[in-house]
Amino acid sequence: MERWKQNLITAAVAFVVATGVMFAIIGSRGIFADGATQEEVLRHLTDGFGIAGGMIFAISLLVWAGTKGTFDGIGYGVSNMINMRWTGAKKDWHKKETFAEYRERKGEKRKSTIWIPIAIVGGVFIVVSLIILGVYYAVV
pLDDT level of residue 95 (50, 70, 90 thresholds): low
Q: What pLDDT does 123 receive?
A: 97
Domain ranges of the chain: 3-69+110-139
Instruction: Judge whether residue 31 has pLDDT over 90.
Output: no
Model confidence at 89, pLDDT cuts 50, 70, 90, reads: low
Catalogue the long-range contacts made by 125-129 (C-beta closer than 8 Å, 24 or more residues apart).
Answer: 125/18, 125/22, 125/49, 125/50, 125/52, 125/53, 125/56, 125/57, 126/49, 126/50, 126/53, 126/54, 126/57, 127/53, 128/49, 128/53, 129/45, 129/46, 129/47, 129/48, 129/49, 129/50, 129/53
pLDDT class of 111 with cuts at 50, 70, 90:
confident
- pLDDT tier for residue 78 given thresholds of 50, 70 and 90: confident
